[in-house]
Amino acid sequence: MLKISRLKDRIEPLVHFLIWSSFFMVMWLQVRTLGPFRKVDGSIYPPLIWNTLLSMLLFYCNALYLIPRFFSRQRFTWYIASLTGIYVGIVLINTTVDHFYAISLFSSEKEPLFAEVNANLISKFLILSLSLGYGLTKNWVISNKLQQQLVSENLNTQLKYLKAQINPHFLFNTLNMAYASAVKSNDEPTADIIEKISGFMRYVLYESNEDQVLLEKELLYIDNYINLQLQRLSPEIAGKVKYEVKGDYQSFTIAPMILIPFIENVFKHGIMLSKEPEMSISLSIHSGVLLFESKNLKNHSPVGPGKAHSGIGMKNVKERLLLMYPNQYSLEINDGDDFFQVTLEIQLKPVHV
């Protein structure tokens, strides 16, 4: 399988090279037999080269940038506007160079400007059509491959959950006993903590097995997690933590547990006894896009076992984002000397009524 994958990686560039070489040869034969380019001393090669390069720029800019960035994310207005701008710009550049440079230096005759504009419009439109077919096909293949990986990952995850559900049932019963004891003893803070922990486990084990969950439920889980974390801090430190949620969070779904590793990281590495904490967590939803931002001072010697596993958590969430939201998210992590900052944008899926 690995050898086949490597062979495919080598064949595709070779195919592209052959296609563009053939394109160049066709143009060269046409220029030698048609139109005003009659010189055979090599002077026809510069205009052929830049014409081919501009065609390649249009082809790959559309196929490898515009389609994944805008078309696949259903941002059709941005896609059409960007594509039109690039198409018109390349046609104008090609026509200007041909008319004011190539024709005057390398041609024995003059051609009307309109004829050159028309020729470039037609040729570049053909290139654009080919790039659209190639880009959509390539994007479909990538999305299909990621979907297959996601199915495989979900199967493995479900198997792990099934293996882990024997002990949690026992733990649930134990937590219920502890909760009843705390209520009986009028120990409301302890009862509240036990209830939150039980809610966490129930959500992770039973409600987060789907590919998508209601964003409202995920935010409730996050809210309970943050409140539980704040309960273990002193009022002075807890008061320094900034947390806010804005926007319509009732009309969308999200991949479960996709944000919690970043939030865990804030509390795991942002609390220091030597200085006041600077921790902020912000979630806003606008036009179907979730913007998550977190920031915390870096504790270079965090206490507890979390330090060894923090890198694994970040790696896992990046892989899940790639699988669950192909071409539908942007993640920026600023790991500075003093601060750790995360900015994540996700194109959310609407709730299907």
CATH at 236: 3.30.565.10
- DSSP helix/strand/coil, 300: coil
| Amino acid 306: pLDDT | 46
Residues with pLDDT less than 50, the chain: 1-4, 7, 33-34, 38-40, 165-166, 303-309
9 & 142 share domain: yes
232 & 326 share domain: yes
Residue 98 located in a structural domain: yes
| Amino acid 298: pLDDT | 78
**How many separate domains does the chain show?**
2
Residue 153 located in a structural domain: no
| Amino acid 32: pLDDT | 56
Residue 191 located in a structural domain: no
- Residue owning tokens 């050898």: 3
221 & 335 share domain: yes
Read off the pLDDT of residues 242-260 as tens digits, 9 standing for 90 and up: 999 999 888 899 988 889 8
Residue 95 located in a structural domain: yes
Distance of CA 91 to the CA centre of its chain: 32
| Amino acid 139: pLDDT | 79
| Amino acid 310: pLDDT | 52
Nearest residue to 259 via CA among 323, 316, 337 = 316
Residue 114 located in a structural domain: yes
11 & 140 share domain: yes
Domain termination residue (choose one: 147, 179, 199): 147
Residue 208 located in a structural domain: no
Look up the domain containing 344 and give its range. Answer: 213-350
| Amino acid 254: pLDDT | 93
Domain termination residue (choose one: 147, 176, 191): 147
10 & 122 share domain: yes
Q: Nearest 5°: CA angle at 197, between 205 and 308?
A: 80
Residue 54 located in a structural domain: yes
- Residue owning tokens 């390349």: 90
16 & 103 share domain: yes
Task: Return d(Cα 276, Cα 33) in angstroms, integer.
Answer: 78
221 & 136 share domain: no
| Amino acid 159: pLDDT | 55
Residue 248 located in a structural domain: yes
Domain termination residue (choose one: 102, 123, 147): 147
Provide the edge-to-edge strand list for the sheet that holds 213-214: 213-214, 252-254, 349-350
